[in-house]
Amino acid sequence: MSFVDIDDLSIDLGEFSLKGVSLSLERGDYLTIIGPTGAGKTIFLETIVGFWRPDRGRIVLDGRDITTEPPEYRHIGIVYQDYALLPHMTVYRNIAYGLKKHKPENMDEAIRKMARSLHIDHLLHRKPITLSGGEQQRAALARVLIVEPSLLLMDEPFSALDPQTRRRARLLLKEAIGERATTVIHITHDLDDAWALANKLAVFKDGRLLQMGAMDTVFSQPKNRFVAEFVGTGFFSGTVVSRENGCVNIDVEGTCLQSLDRADKGKPVNVAIRCEDIRVSRKKPSVANGFNILNATLKNVIPEGSSSLLDLRVDNLEMNALLTQNAMRRLDARRGDNLYALIRKEHVKIVQDG
C-alpha cells in the first residue's frame, strides 16, 4: 500500500466529468500535474481535499479511507492561486488561524520559526493587502505548512509571481517541505516548476489522467502524441524493418532511425525523441558509433531564454532540437543551412501505444 492511493476517482458535474483517475504516491513524493486549461486539474485537487463528493472511487491517505470524510478531518493542506488569506487579519493571525484546532503549547515560537524559514518574520504585524505578491504567497504557504499536513496540495501557487520571485519561492518551498518530507501535489502551467521541485509528473486532459511517472520517463517515453507534444518531445510513427546487432531499424516516413529498444520486425511502433537529445553539427562525424546521423535543413530558430529551439527538416520529418545559447554560438547556423542531426541510438525510444 502506498502513502496516497487514489483509485478510479470519478465525478460527473454535468458539463464536465473526472473519469476514473487512479494514482499512487509514496511518502515524500512531489507530483506536478500539467494539462491544458479545462482538463480537470483543479477539480481533481478539490475532490481530494473534500470539496466534491466523488460518484465513484476511493481516496486512501496513510492507510485511512478519507473518501467521505469531512474536509476538516482529512489533514490536507491546500494553497490556492489567489492565496485566500484572510484580509482583516495580520500575517501572524493568518498563520495562527491554521492552528486554531490544535494549538501547540509553544504556538508563538512555532509561528515565528515558520515565518523565519519563509523570510516573512518582519511582516508578521502587517495585513495581507499591504504585502507584495511574493510576500502574500509566502504567508499563504506558512499558514498551510504550520499544521504539518499529511498531504500538501497547491493549485498554481506561483502563477502571479515574476520569474525571479518565482525562483526564490521555489527554493524556499523546497527547503520548507524538504525538512518535513511532505508529500505534495502541485498543479502548474510552468514545466520549470516541475523540473525544480518534482520527482513525478502527471498529464491530464479531458478529465482523464493520460500518463503519470517519473519526470524523466514522461519526457523521454510519452505514451501518446498528445503527451509528447505537451512536454515538447518529438513523436513519430513508423515500422520496424529489421533487427541487427542488438538494435532495430525503424522506417519513419522513409527515414531510418536506429534504436536500442526491442521490437519485432514488421511491427508498427511509435518513437519518441526528446529535443534535448538531438545534437546539431555542421560537420558529419567520421564515425557513426552509437549515433543516428541524419541530414537536416534548418527551417527556423525560436529563441527561448537561455536556449533556442531549432526547427529541423529531416527528410520528410519535422524535428525540434533544443540547444543552449553557447551551443548555438558554436554552431553559427542560419535558416536554410544544411546540417547534421545526431541522435544517440539509446535516445530513440520505442513507446507503447496508450
Ligand X SMILES: Nc1ncnc2c1ncn2[C@@H]1O[C@H](COP(=O)(O)OP(=O)(O)OP(=O)(O)O)[C@@H](O)[C@H]1O
**Total site size for Mg ion, rule CB under 5 A:** 1
Largest CA distance in the chain: 72
Contact assessment for residue 2 and residue 25, using Cβ atoms and an 8 Å cutoff: yes
CA-derived radius of gyration, the chain:
24
| Least Å from the CB of residue 6 to ligand X | 15
Positive or negative, the CA dihedral 143, 147, 148, 151 is negative
User: Where is 112: in which H helix or E strand?
Assistant: helix 107-117
Contact assessment for residue 189 and residue 157, using Cβ atoms and an 8 Å cutoff: no
| Least Å from the CB of residue 37 to ligand X | 3
Question: Restricting to residues 40-69, which ones interact with ligand X according to CB under 6 A?
Answer: 40-43
The answer to whether residue 81 forms part of the interface with Mg ion (CB under 5 A) is: no
Site stretch for ligand X (CB under 6 A), options 31-39, 165-173, 230-238, 312-320: 31-39
Backbone angles phi, psi at 171, to 5 degrees: -65, -45
Closer Cβ to ligand X, 42 or 281, answer by number: 42
| Least Å from the CB of residue 190 to Mg ion | 13
| Least Å from the CB of residue 203 to ligand X | 11
Spatial distance between the Cα atoms of 102 and 299, rounded to a whole number of angstroms: 62
Read out DSSP for 133-180? HHHHHHHHHHHHHTT--SEEEEESTTTTS-HHHHHHHHHHHHHHHHHH
The grid cell for 17 is 466529468
| Least Å from the CB of residue 198 to ligand X | 17
Other beta carbons less than 10 A from residue 210's beta carbon: 19
Contact assessment for residue 279 and residue 322, using Cβ atoms and an 8 Å cutoff: no
Residue 353 interacting partner from Mg ion, ligand X, none (CB closer than 5 to 8 Å by kind): none
The answer to whether residue 316 forms part of the interface with ligand X (CB under 6 A) is: no
The answer to whether residue 16 forms part of the interface with ligand X (CB under 6 A) is: yes
Contact assessment for residue 218 and residue 203, using Cβ atoms and an 8 Å cutoff: yes
Length of the chain: 354
Site stretch for ligand X (CB under 6 A), options 36-44, 128-136, 161-169, 222-230: 36-44
Q: Which of 2, 10, 17, 42 binds Mg ion (CB under 5 A)?
A: 42
The answer to whether residue 272 forms part of the interface with ligand X (CB under 6 A) is: no
Beta partners for residue 271, in sequence order = 236, 350
Closer Cβ to ligand X, 159 or 255, answer by number: 159
Q: Which of 4, 23, 31, 39 binds ligand X (CB under 6 A)?
A: 39
| Least Å from the CB of residue 49 to ligand X | 13
Spatial distance between the Cα atoms of 16 and 19, rounded to a whole number of angstroms: 9
Q: Which of 12, 13, 251, 318 binds ligand X (CB under 6 A)?
A: 13
| Least Å from the CB of residue 155 to Mg ion | 6
Residue labelled with grid coordinates 502574500: 136
Site stretch for Mg ion (CB under 5 A), options 3-11, 40-48, 246-254, 263-271: 40-48
Residue 14 interacting partner from ligand X, Mg ion, none (CB closer than 5 to 8 Å by kind): ligand X
Residue 255's nearest CA partner among 319, 176, 346 is 319
The answer to whether residue 79 forms part of the interface with ligand X (CB under 6 A) is: no
Closer Cβ to Mg ion, 42 or 249, answer by number: 42
Site stretch for ligand X (CB under 6 A), options 23-31, 32-40, 124-132, 245-253: 32-40
> Which parts of this chain interact with ligand X (CB under 6 A)?
13-16, 35, 37-43
> Which parts of this chain interact with Mg ion (CB under 5 A)?
42
